[in-house]
Structure 1
């Protein structure tokens, strides 16, 4: 299956994730979020991420199917600040099989997630990615995101002796 196959057939189905989809979603994430491609995403991608979001925000956990095969997923949540006037949407994970990443699978997933968040009263969607992930930044800009901000991650290795 190639991105041209998915685009040409236009039989992409975006639906709510079921519990039976969890293993396949995890494996797609393993394909996409590799240590070589993105150490930051690889570090945080695990089964707990999927199950936690699935258990708390099932309606914002989506899969994209093409010919009865899952080719991508989106995992989102909402955040409401206490005494805050806005409800925020957070697109936590978006993964598409590498061989169909140019077939608008991500766009279909995002469009449905956006619709669902809007229906829930979300006023702003937030997404983050690595500053050097040019493909993701380009994708999100095409979806209407703007105003990028870089943030810094620091780490502390506790297995090394502390220097005085």
Structure 2
């Protein structure tokens, strides 16, 4: 693939896209580039059952989903190039503070390593922001790991900035 913009179709995510999405996620992780999403895999987001026998080969990951994924699919988009899923974005709409105040949250974004830097992630973020706006959302956020300079730079170029929330954590033993 040459490093230029390619003809990309953005469309709503369906259950049939999950195998391609999981493959993309695994390829990104294999490269060691999943800093922000190190502990947040697509398999975890979609609640994939892991305790199947190694001899039992599912036809698709869809067969292993244990929860309701309708909310995830409602704010999920994929990027197709020549009929193949090459990128994805998952989001959700949350209600915060006052009743009726909606915030769009980008949960995870991924582009197949062979198709990065072709404008696919930009199109996915623009498309989910348009979808959020149509749903009455006026603010979109994403949690990023401060060490993930590449992803921080990307979202800053997309017009995102540091918010007012500080993430505190505690490890329970």
Distance 1:39 1:57 in 2: 22
Match of 2:75 in 1: 60
> Is the 1:75–1:91 contact (alpha carbons within 8 Å) kept by the matching residues of 2?
yes
SS at match of 1:102: coil
1:35/1:68 CA distance change after superposition, 3 Å: closer
Structure 2's unaligned 5+ residue stretches are 48-66
Structure 2 CA distance for partners of 1:50 and 1:35, relative to 1, 3 Å: farther
TM-score relative to the length of structure 1? 0.80
Q: Structure 1 CA distance, aligned partners of 2:96 and 2:168?
A: 23
Q: CA RMSD in A?
A: 2.5
> What CA distance in whole angstroms lies between the structure 1 residues aligned with 2:68 and 2:32?
25
After superposition, give the CA deviation of every residue in 1:107-150 in whole Å (9 maximum; x if it has no partner). Answer: 00011100000000001101012111111001100111012566
Q: Equivalent residue for 1:19? A: 15
Counterpart in the other structure of 2:63? none
CA contact (8 A) 2:93 2:102 kept: yes
Q: TM-score, normalised by structure 2?
A: 0.77
The 8 Å contact of residues 53 and 77 in structure 1, kept in 2 or not, is answered as: no
The higher-RCO structure (CA 8 Å, 6+ apart) is: 2
> CA contact under 8 A between 1:28 and 1:96: conserved in structure 2?
yes
The range that moved more, 19-28 or 140-149, is 140-149
Q: What is the aligned residue count? A: 153
Distance of 2:117 and 2:13 partners within structure 1: 22
- Report the CA distance shift for 1:100/1:3 in structure 2 as closer, same or farther (over 3 A): farther
Structure 2 counterpart of 1:139, from 121, 141, 154:
154
Residue in structure 1 matched with residue 138 of structure 2 by the alignment: 123
Is the Cα–Cα contact under 8 Å of residues 3 and 99 in structure 1 kept in the other structure?
Answer: no
Contact map agreement 2:122 2:158 (CA 8 A) in 1: yes
